[in-house]
Amino acid sequence: MKATFPYFGFDTYALKSFVEALGAEVVLPPATSRRTLELGVEHSPELICMPFKITLGNMLEGLERGADTILMAAGARKCRFGYYHYLQKAALVRLGHNQRLVPVSQYSPYGFVFRLMPSLFGVSGTRVLRAVFLMIAKSSMTEEFRKLLNRSRATDFESAERKCRKALALIEQAGTMSEVRECRRELRELFRPNGRRPELRVGMVGEIYFMIEQYANQEIEKELGRLGVEVLFERSLYHHIMHLLRIDPGYARSRRLARRYLRECPGGEAIRTVGEAIHFQESGTVDGIVHVFPFTCMPENMALEGLQQLTADTGIPVLSLSFDEHTSRTGLLTRLEAFVDLLKRKKREQRVSRN
Amino acid sequence: MRIGLPRALLYYRYGRFWEEYLSGLGADVVLSRPTDADLLQRGLAVVSSEVCLPIKIAAGHVLDLADRVDTIFLPRMFSLDDGLYACPKMIGIVDVCRMMLGNRVRLIAPVIKGDLYGPHFRAGLAICRNPFRVAQAISRARAALEEERPEPAFPKGEKRVALIGHFYNTGDGYVADAIIQGFRSRGYRVVCKDDLPQGVLRSRAGFSRNIRWVYERELYNAFVHLKDKVDGACVIVSMGCGPDSLVAEFMREESAQARLPFLQLVIDEHTGMAGLVTRIEAFVELAERSRMKVRAA
State the CATH architecture for B2-146.
3-Layer(aba) Sandwich (3.40)
- In the sheet with B233-238, reading across from the earlier edge strand, the strands are B189-192, B160-164, B233-238, B262-267
User: Tens digits of per-residue pLDDT, A285-306?
Assistant: 999 999 999 988 888 999 999 9
Query: For position B151, what pLDDT does the model report?
Result: 85
- pLDDT given for residue B227 in this prediction: 87
Pairing status of strand A69-74 against strand A100-105 = parallel
Domain B2-146 and domain B160-296, same fold? Reply is yes
Task: Determine how many CB atoms are found less than 10 A away from the CB of residue A302.
Answer: 31
Q: Smallest Cα–Cα separation from A188: which of A225, A237, A148, A232? A: A148
Q: How much is the pLDDT for A263?
A: 87
Tell me what ipTM this predicted complex has: 0.86
Cα B247 to chain centroid distance, Å, stands at: 15
Interatomic CA distance for residues B112 and B18, integer angstroms: 14
The per-residue pLDDT for range A310-326, each reduced to its tens digit, is 999 999 999 999 998 88
Cβ(A224)–Cβ(A318) below 8 Å: no
Alpha-carbon gap, residue A15 to A27, rounded angstroms: 12
Convert B126-187 into a string of H (helix), E (strand) and C (coil).
HHCCCHHHHHHHHHHHHHHHHCCCCCCCCCCCCCEEEEECCHHHHCCHHHHHHHHHHHHCCC
d(CA A21, nearest CA chain B) in Å: 32
Contact yes or no for A267 and B91 at CB 8 A = yes
- Which option is the CATH number for B160-296: 3.30.565.10, 3.30.450.30, 3.30.70.260, 3.40.50.11900? 3.40.50.11900
pLDDT recorded at residue A39 = 93
Which of B28, B30, B27 minimizes the C-alpha distance to B7?
Answer: B30
Instruction: Report the 10 Å Cβ neighbour count for A265.
Output: 20
User: Which chain A residues have any C-beta within 8 angstroms of a chain B C-beta?
Assistant: 45, 47-49, 77-80, 82-83, 86-87, 90, 261-268, 270, 295-299, 301-302, 304-306, 308-309, 322
Tell me which CATH code domain A2-107 carries: 3.40.50
On average, the pLDDT of chain A sits at 91
CB distance B216 to B245 below 8 Å: no
pLDDT tens by residue, chain B, 297 residues = 899 999 998 999 888 899 999 998 888 999 999 999 999 999 999 888 888 899 999 999 999 999 899 899 999 988 776 678 888 888 889 999 998 888 889 999 999 888 888 888 999 888 888 899 999 999 988 888 877 788 888 888 888 999 999 999 998 888 888 899 999 999 899 999 888 888 888 888 888 888 888 888 899 999 999 988 888 999 999 988 888 888 898 899 899 888 899 999 998 888 877 888 899 999 999 888 887 887 777
Residues of B with CB under 8 A from a CB of A: 47-48, 50-51, 76, 78, 85, 87-89, 91-92, 94-96, 98-99, 111, 210-213, 237, 239-246, 248-250, 252-253, 266
Whether A245 and A40 have beta carbons less than 8 Å apart is answered as no
Q: What residues contact A153, with CB distance under 8 A and at least 6 apart?
A: A160, A161, A221, A222, A225, A226, A230
Kindly state the helix (H) or strand (E) to which residue A181 belongs, with its residue range.
helix A177-190
- pLDDT for A102-122, tens place per residue? 999 888 889 889 999 999 999
CATH 3.30.420.130 fits A198-354, yes or no: no
Domain boundaries, chain B: 2-146, 160-296
Residues of chain B in contact with residue A86, where contact means CB-CB under 8 angstroms, are 210, 250
- Look up residue A327 and give its amino acid: T
- Residues of chain A falling short of pLDDT 50: none
B108: left (phi over 0), alpha (psi -120 to 50) or beta: beta
B107 CA to centre of own chain: 22
pLDDT above 90 as % of chain A: 72
